[in-house]
Chain A
Amino acid sequence: MNTTEAIRLVAAREVRVKLRDRTFLFSTLFFLLFAAASTVLPALLAGGPSSVAVADRSVAATLTDAGLKVRTVADDQAAEQLVRAGDVDAAVVGGPRVLAMDEAPGDVVRALSKEPDVRLLDPDAVNPVARFLVPFAFAMVFFFTSLTFGLQIAQSVTEEKQTRVVEILVATVPVRVLLAGKVIAAGLLAMVQIALIALVTVTAAQFAPAGSTVLPVLAPAIGWFIPFFVLGFVMLAALWAGVGALVNRQEDIAGASMPVQLLVMLPFFAIIFLNDNPTAMTVLSYLPISAPTAMPIRLFLGDAAPWEPILSLLILAASALATLAAGARVYEGSVLRTNGRTAIMAAWRNRETRLVQSVR
């Protein structure tokens, strides 16, 4: 059996176990409902076009053309009556004057007025709602997936250590195969979860008028987000695996993983608070820990030159390789030390497993 086959077996087991985990299934379901609701609800709450009562037939025709729900009545009194009764949102009476209870109906007013010509000087500028939501969405997606799936990797490593099954595994396959299988499984699950959320959001956006106009602008940013996400995820996953191997009990993961949690959290808050500061974002888009979200955001905002994501991606790839090597070394150095928590330096220096494993 070759290494690829062994990695596939390890990854398949991880995925199978996770797909039977109720907590995982419910949290995915919750994310999906949340994504659908946050896309559809604003549109539903905004309501449809106003209903309007009118006596004048030519005005009625204008309003109908504007897509309003028009009720033609006998005279202005009858129209006003309907507004007071709450049967319609507004009425148009002689003048023309618009009657409404407590809020001026914008769509009725617009239908009756002549708008001046508008010429946009920067037509590609991002609409303000999207300008606020998209950085937030990118940061959230990367933050939550790298945290939950990173924790999953650490837990799975610790479980094998805690239950001692790792000794049988290590006697059977190289330690790096176990590590690779876990990282790949978590990465796959994370990608599938994000893809599902994206699918639900896009589908839901079809029901919301504002959503569909953002999508074309968002597409290239999402295209870049994928390679950034994968590399950023692998970089952190290696660290999570190392942390998981240092401890012996699930209860100790939270404490031991604090530095890695900070590496996930700090960039998240930096991006949430600094995403309208171009200088800060430029710096963040090259730092490996924040690049996975900061660079796609800058691309979305149209602030980055074409070569910038490539350079940032290269830096990220180099750091991912470095942490992968470091994480694997700590993992190898500590995964068989089952008495108490292993100090990270002891794990780093412990050449035992590497020594044995290098024997072919």
Chain B
Amino acid sequence: MTKVLRLDGINRSFGDRPVLKEVTFDVTAGRLTGFVGANGAGKTTTMRIVLGVLAADSGAVTWQGSPLTREDRRRFGYMPEERGLYPKMTVREQLIYLGRLHGLTPEAVRRHAGDLLERLGLDERADEPLEKLSLGNQQRAQIAAALVHDPDVLVLDEPFSGLDPAAVDIVVAVLREHTARGVPVLFSSHQLDVVERLCDDLVIIADGTIRAVGRRDDLRVAHARPRHALVVDGDAGWLRDQPGVTLIDLDGPRAVFDLAAGADDQAVLQAALARGPVRSFGPVVPSLTEIFREVTR
């Protein structure tokens, strides 16, 4: 059985307001799955249902093919949207406490907490109370708390918010170590550029429904329109009169245009070459932001 965390037809309402409608997607072993959506789209509710902090009205969450049990969830790592650890306990103590609650032996948890603190650059502050740490370091401690028991599955709600770029790189490296060992990782973010750079798979949610699911690169191809960019030496305004071309953007020698169905991109290139040197020509791959706009429209 492959290690897949599967959400199948999850529905959930608060009062008479439905917040999740038939939410279905997989988080596959060894892959970073980015969970993207606007504020209030249902990301946090979905994650809380996976962790058993909220109940689904209907639908099922399965792990390796069978419904989730409390014992399975104890082997999950969770970083909730609302951050929090004990302010007066030292970082190391809380890691050890949480690790033991997750079922680790005292020796294993001590060793693992030490490694993790070092890995996240927190070892020098490890024996200070959490409240004495800077916000960025508290955020790292929160990530350590989700990882301390070497979880089988990771569910992280906005793990990168509040981290400086250096810390983002450290955390990404740590997460990659987990996926390399076959751990499925689901993380949410509204920073689309971060998600675009990091994730292998994408889940896009809007108004409680899943709008797009799949490998990041497949999604890009699927949503690629026949859009091209051209850079020439002179003015590219002549493209306007080229058959089958819809000009999207023109800035002197630079142009972005869509091709009508059946129109030949090579014909456009030839036309450009006939007018002078061509510095660059090629299809434009849509960014995640564009895909997101398109599917959530």
- Residues on A facing B (Cβ under 8 Å): 1, 6, 9-10, 13, 17, 159-160, 163-174, 336, 338, 352, 355-357, 359-360
Contacts and interface: CB of A to CB of B under 8 A. Distances in A.
Contacts of A168: 78, 80, 84-85, 98, 145-146
Given A13-B97, A356-B54, A172 B80 contact: no
A360 B71 CA distance: 8
Contacts of A356: 52-55
Contacts of A1: 74, 101, 103
A174 B70 contact: yes
B52 A171 contact: yes
Interface in B34-75: 48, 51-55, 67-70, 73-74
Interface stretch (B86-94, B181-189, B254-262, B275-283): B86-94
Given A9-B100, A172-B101, A359 B70 contact: yes
A169 B55 contact: no
A167 B53 contact: yes
Contact of A352 (B54, B67, B103): B54
A172 B72 CA distance: 10
Contact of B101 (A159, A173, A352, A359): A173
A164 B83 contact: yes
B103 A9 contact: no
Contacts of B51: 171
Interface in B111-150: 145-146
- Give the bracket for the number of chain B residues in contact with chain A: 20 to 34
B53 A359 contact: no
Given A17-B88, A164-B80, A172 B102 contact: yes
Contacts of B101: 1, 6, 9-10, 169, 172-173
B82 interface: yes
Nearest to A172: B101
B160 interface: no
Contacts of A169: 101
B292 interface: no
A287 B262 CA distance: 90
Contacts of A173: 74, 101
B46 to A, nearest CB: 14
A251 to B, nearest CB: 16
A163 B86 contact: yes
A17 B89 contact: yes
5 contacts: A9-B97, A168-B84, A173-B101, A356-B53, A356-B55
Contact of B98 (A159, A170, A172, A174): A172
Contacts of B80: 164, 167-168, 171
Given A169-B101, A170-B53, 18 more contacts: A1-B103, A6-B101, A9-B100, A165-B85, A165-B86, A166-B84, A167-B53, A168-B84, A168-B85, A168-B98, A171-B76, A172-B102, A174-B70, A356-B55, A359-B52, A359-B69, A360-B69, A360-B70
Nearest to B68: A359
B76 to A, nearest CB: 7
A1, A159, A160, A352: most-surrounded residue (chain B CB, <10 A): A1
